[in-house]
Chains A and B, each alone.
Chain A
Amino acid sequence: MINPFCTPADHRLNRRAFLGAAALGGLATPAFAEALRKERRQVLFVWLDGGISQLESWDPKPNTIFGGPFRAIPTSVPGIHISELLPETAKQMHRLALVRSVCTQDNSHSAGVDRIQRGDPKNRGVVYPYLGSAMARWLGPGTSGLPPYIWVKPMNGGFIYKDAGFLGPKYGALALGDGKPPENLLRPAEISEVDDAERNELRELADKRYAEKRKADTTDANSYAFAMAAQLQKRVELFDLSKLPEKDRDRYGSHDLGRHLLLARRLLEEGVTFVKVTSYGWDTHGDNFNGHASLVPKFDKPFAAMIQDLADRGMLDNVLVIAMSEFGRTPRINGHLGRDHWPEAWSVCMGGRGIKPGVVAGKTNEKGTDVATEPHDIGHLFHTWFRALGVDPEKQKYYNATQPLPIAHEEMHPVKEVLA
């Protein structure tokens, strides 16, 4: 009997396929490349680590006891208002959708980050992949020849295999610390091209011998990491933002988040499947309002620029954009004029591929303390994002060896109001 679902082998990344795709991307005619581009399914995942306040962003409650000092402003969609700290994003609201009925479980960072980014499936005794690894699995590497899951972040980079969970290390993230390519990426000048090729040949031989007696996934991942490095070596110009027009750099900003979002745009333009951009420092237990007054505009400007640029390039048909944290922040203002962790009623912003633009799903009560409509957990959002990208969680399954596993929480469903 033919298995109606995909099997692991159908989507397994391997070095040959990866390099083949790279060659295809490089040799395609412009018309063919454009046709390929139109087929792309990509994701930009902006992670505001620590927890952006929903009340100072997507779900303001001005002139209420927990509403804080800021005003709400109209957006490009009549009737939708967001915080005054997001004036540029407000102009892009006709391209975005908000879910204001997010209600999750964990109010600690350690549990929240993992749970949210893995989609909180039912406990099956396995570690589920992060969204980026899941998308690398379901959408594949595309034709860019670049790794399918790239994480642009402050501080250190490296190959973050743990994101992949049971999918195996090769679906892990290639993290670009401070938006820079991995260290030692370039062949040192003192090593000739011929010597380098010989070195790699020797390494491959050693890898092969090593792999003969070991699990394929681990050795594949090792080879894959080298293949990625080799491919990135040919594309180092991607990381040189100084060659971009000054106007672009001004629009995105010179701070980490601006630079990293601009790099993300380049990576998406090149066809990377999943780009995660992380900004740290959003855990505003103290001085929340001055903190958000400083932080949110540094998200607003480059995020709005990104949406505009994706729209101008016709890429919103391909790229699903998500901006979120591990939870929201308490309506109650603590004594240090901060807000603490609040998973009970918060918001997520999304747009692009498969998302109905200019809509709001769900709402919170007058004070913002509870979801007043159907609450939506992270499982609902995973269903929504898979659907938006054309992956049907009802039909597709993971296979952990021979164990079939649902790709999203089987008791949850998509937030239909935001699906195109």
Chain B
Amino acid sequence: MKPPKERGKPIVPPCQVIRIRFSPDGKELAAACVDGVVRRWSVPDAKPLTELKGHDGWVTTLSYSPNGDLLSADSWGKLVRWSNEKVRWSIAAHDGWLRAVAIAKDRIATCGRDGYVREWTADGKKLHEAQFGVDLYSLVYSPDGVLIVGDLFGQIRVLDSHLKMLRKLEQKEFHLLDRIQDVGGVRCLAFSPDGKTIYAAGCQPKTGGFVQAFPLLVALDFATGKTLWSWKGANDNEGIVHDLRVFADGRLAAVTSGQPGQGKFLLFEPPTATPAFVSTKMPNCHSVDIHPDGKQIATSATNANSSGNGRVKGKAGEYPENSSPIQYWDIE
């Protein structure tokens, strides 16, 4: 693999970004922002498009449906389906932090801090729900529609079409009870294009508080649950894998955020566990997405000097906010 090259200057939104996603036609990029706004830009010229407002707290996750509708969710539990920049429907999907959204052919799945997994019709009607009593961080459908869910304690549940648990894949290295803090969690889940491999990512925590942690990516055989290969960061200050995406050809893109200001953009060529590409140029990366053409990538990171005790001052003497520069990359 030739190393990807940065293209142009980054887009700098006015606040921090949790998640970025390309639309299925590749013409726009959307960002879930901590001020409750979904911001969008045209691709490739990065012109701002209409902002989508109506969320509370943080917009925590985004997912485009195949027809181009955008699903966005927030930390107060709201799920919104946007169609041509208008709200098609908006529902109170969870009690509090809605952490992940996945889309299958005719269904939408969500999970949250309230411990529920729910499935919805394309019109936002509830189909099924299941309560697992733990903070659920991530979920994804396999190519043939099997839903899997990852939690704070490193457990990956395989669910049937009524959300009953079929089996559980224990990945205990994703969790640590440090003093009274449960740290870690399966932050990201993805399937290989053939549906045979599950990719789980997050971190192997060493402490709570600061969250000293080794970023961790584990490839599991879906049929047996056996670990095929794994990658762990070299140092416990490298932090957490915050986002993980799969190319159509099976390669992987991941980003990490650590302490202080640590950030990596990584590309993998499975089953090789050593990254084929690593960039450490960007501090604290939180999201990555692959353009539908497979030749462009976008990453969101954080501005430099984003941390500091006490009253840090900006250039004009103001108390500064941080932002998440979004960088395009070209890749062959």
A379 touches B (CB below 8 Å): no
Contact at A154–B179, with CB atoms within 8 Å? Answer: yes
Contact at B257–A336, with CB atoms within 8 Å? Answer: yes
Q: How many residues does chain A have at the interface if contact means C-beta atoms less than 8 Å apart?
A: 48
Most buried by A among B301, B310, B320: B310
Residues of A within 8 A of B178 (CB): 281
Binary per-residue interface labels of chain A (333-359) against chain B in the complex, 1 for a CB within 8 Å, 0 otherwise:
111111011111000000000000000
Contact at B310–A332, with CB atoms within 8 Å? Answer: no
Q: How far is the CB of B121 from chain A (nearest CB, A)?
A: 27
Which B residues, 263 to 305, have Cβ-Cβ distances below 8 Å to chain A? 263, 283-284, 286, 301-303
In the docked arrangement, what's the CA distance between A90 and B152, Å?
A: 26
Q: How far is the CB of A399 from chain B (nearest CB, A)?
A: 37
Residues of A within 8 A of B204 (CB): none
A286 touches B (CB below 8 Å): yes
Q: How far is the CB of A336 from chain B (nearest CB, A)?
A: 5
Residues of A within 8 A of B182 (CB): 294
B96 touches A (CB below 8 Å): yes
Q: Which residue of B lies closest to A299 (CB)?
A: B180
Q: Which residue of A lies closest to B301 (CB)?
A: A335
A363 touches B (CB below 8 Å): no
Q: Which residue of B lies closest to A85 (CB)?
A: B96
Q: How far is the CB of A63 from chain B (nearest CB, A)?
A: 6
Contact at B57–A285, with CB atoms within 8 Å? Answer: no
Which interface class (under 10, 10 to 19, 20 to 34, 35 or more) fits B? 35 or more
Contact at A65–B209, with CB atoms within 8 Å? Answer: no
A256 touches B (CB below 8 Å): yes
**Contact of A341 (CB < 8 Å), options: B183, B185, B303, B310:** B310
Contact at B310–A333, with CB atoms within 8 Å? Answer: no
In the docked arrangement, what's the CA distance between A333 and B301, Å?
A: 13
**Contact of A291 (CB < 8 Å), options: B16, B183, B260, B307:** B183
Contact at B310–A69, with CB atoms within 8 Å? Answer: no
Q: List 14 A-B contacts (CB under 8 A).
A: A65-B15, A68-B57, A69-B34, A257-B180, A285-B209, A286-B259, A290-B152, A290-B183, A294-B183, A295-B208, A335-B306, A336-B257, A341-B309, A369-B319
| Chain A residues engaging chain B, CB cutoff 8 angstroms | 50, 62-63, 65-71, 84, 107-108, 154, 255-257, 279-287, 290-291, 293-295, 298, 330-338, 340-344, 367, 369
Which 5 residue pairs spanning A and B have beta carbons closest together?
Answer: A335-B284, A335-B302, A69-B75, A286-B211, A334-B307
Apart from A331-B319, A341-B310, list 10 A-B contacts with CB within 8 A: A68-B57, A69-B57, A70-B57, A71-B56, A256-B180, A286-B239, A334-B302, A334-B308, A336-B211, A337-B286
